[in-house]
Structure 1
Amino acid sequence: MLNRIPLDSILFLDIETVPETADYNELNEEKQELWAHKTAYQRKEEHTPEAFYERAGIWAEFGLIVCISVGYFVNKGSEPLFRVTSFHGNEPTLLKDFKNLLNDHFNQARHVLCAHNGKEFDFPYIARRMLINGITLPYKLDLFGKKPWEVPHLDTMELWKFGDYKHYTSLKLMANVLGIPSPKEDMDGSMVRSVYYEEKDMDRIIKYCELDVVTTAQVFLRLKCEPLLEAHQIKTV
């Protein structure tokens, strides 16, 4: 089935998110109460709402998207090129820029979006943040009324499950077991908040996000039993 999808029809993506404020005490009283209620099950009695707030970036209602990186295949000559670019900075602006990319270049019926754990995280998170910012959803993210087979989304983690709904496999683990060379990363997802708010190193976050996009594309190639990308085939634009 995957072999029926041309590589140049796929937009690979990854997002990086952080809590909406640097510190729990910057939330107003109502938002603090809503946060406590939202996270009561996850926290149980082990953490206070304030101590748990460093994880707020994983919920779209309490987080911000600070980077969306995308990658796509371009057929050039005898071998494909994989181009990677990122949207970052002010959240409404980066969301509008991402929406424009979808509308201008990935809006045809053949186009699909692909992310690792995208159906559970990236796709709904982007859609929710767009609506929170008053941005109408692009067609590729508006799932209302669509039948499951009409949803233009691929998820490398879902493809690896083979129907096993209890199975979770990280992108890093999938890359390892599929024999994909691991890029030299100097951070992981748990560090994005501190790198953004404390170190204020946006370039480091962008690099990390772009590496995940490349790895997702490499995983997809392995799932199709196709050759991996070589370094000279990957271009940042």
Structure 2
Amino acid sequence: MADFLEQLGSILFLDIETASLTESFEELDPRLQDEWVKKERLIKTTEEGHIDPGSLYFDRAGIHAEFGQIVCIGVGYYQRKKKEKKLVFRSKVFANESEKELLQEFSSLLDKKKWVLCAHNGKEFDFPYICRRMLIQGIPLPEPLQISGKKPWEVRHLDTMELWKFGDYKHYTRLELLASVFGIPSSKDNLDGSQVNSTFHLENDLEKIKKYCLKDVEVTARVYLAMNPQLELEEIEIIQLDDDSEQKGD
């Protein structure tokens, strides 16, 4: 158990929320417009039939790093409460009108400790998306995100969806489903991923997105514990750090 607790304290759970680069297709740089139309031909389904160029942009662009942007990154980590059967989960969200400044702040956090990164579907979405947007913004990749040339066991990335597959590579499981089967409270009480783009561009409500993002981070962290039942806990105390707090252990 001691080894598990030690390893647990080095895991940084994270979640990103993304939106399209611009509110409308027409606002997009003309070169990117041309590329999006080509991308659109590949992602449209047979059920959709004929579509006008750019018609899928608002709903789909945010999931593609070349046509989207990161609007917030939620992070959290566990600490053991001394002399108690209790964990403290400290969480924080990085959000900024400037994506570059947001990513620089997040990069600084990754440089402070030898983190193991964990996200749900992180290996296919969150981690590569962050890397691509950092490079587009001219930001060097921090060490935990540098995977080129590393052996698989040297890459410190965990993925709760991959852990749940147990080798079944055809299996996709939503975070909300895992939360349901483990009896973990939902993060979807006032927002879900499909509404982030409209909440960001049309409602201009970044605070709502930040709260949703932090809840997803907490759910991911709780799912990870549920899949590693070595530790018997009476409770988990949730502490949300403000923007000026430092992410550091005791």
TM range, smaller chain: over 0.9
For structure 2, list consecutive stretches of 5 or more residues without a partner in the other structure. Answer: 242-250
Match of 1:57 in 2: 62
Q: What displacement does 1:185 show? A: 1.9
Call closer, same or farther: CA 1:227–1:189 in 2, change over 3 Å. farther
Match of 1:167 in 2: 171
Identify the match of residue 93 of structure 1 among 73, 93, 101.
Answer: 101
2:5·2:80 contact (CA, 8 Å) conserved in 1? no
1:221·1:227 contact (CA, 8 Å) conserved in 2? no
Distance 1:228 1:219 in 2: 14
Letter in 2 for 1:63: G
1:114·1:155 contact (CA, 8 Å) conserved in 2? yes
Distance 2:223 2:140 in 1: 31
Letter in 2 for 1:27: L
Match of 1:234 in 2: 238
> Counterpart of 2:56 in 1: which secondary structure?
helix
Distance 2:185 2:13 in 1: 18
Call closer, same or farther: CA 1:204–1:230 in 2, change over 3 Å. farther
Q: Is the helix fraction higher in 1 or 2?
A: 1
Q: Which moved more, 1:93-102 or 1:25-34?
A: 25-34
Identify the match of residue 127 of structure 1 among 122, 126, 131.
Answer: 131
Letter in 1 for 2:195: M
Match of 2:9 in 1: 8
Call closer, same or farther: CA 1:151–1:34 in 2, change over 3 Å. same
1:3·1:224 contact (CA, 8 Å) conserved in 2? no
Q: What displacement does 1:74 show? A: 1.8
> Counterpart of 2:124 in 1: which secondary structure?
coil
> Counterpart of 1:49 in 2: which secondary structure?
coil
Q: Is the aligned partner of 1:83 residue 2:56? A: no
Q: Which moved more, 1:91-100 or 1:35-44?
A: 35-44
Letter in 2 for 1:202: L
Percent sequence identity over aligned pairs: 52
Letter in 2 for 1:101: L
Letter in 2 for 1:151: V
For structure 1, list consecutive stretches of 5 or more residues without a partner in the other structure. Answer: none
Q: What displacement does 1:85 show? A: 0.2
Q: Which moved more, 1:118-127 or 1:37-46?
A: 37-46
Identify the match of residue 222 of structure 1 among 209, 217, 226.
Answer: 226
| TM-score (structure 1 length as normaliser) | 0.92
Q: What displacement does 1:5 show? A: 6.3
Match of 1:73 in 2: 78
Q: Which moved more, 1:68-77 or 1:179-188?
A: 179-188
Q: What displacement does 1:3 show? A: 4.3
> Counterpart of 2:54 in 1: which secondary structure?
helix
Q: Kindly tell me the number of residue pairs found equivalent between the two proteins.
A: 231
Match of 2:161 in 1: 157
> Counterpart of 1:74 in 2: which secondary structure?
strand
Letter in 2 for 1:23: S
Distance 1:93 1:29 in 2: 25
Match of 1:27 in 2: 28
Match of 2:248 in 1: none
| TM-score (structure 2 length as normaliser) | 0.88
CA RMSD in angstroms comes to 1.8
1:14·1:68 contact (CA, 8 Å) conserved in 2? yes
Match of 1:187 in 2: 191
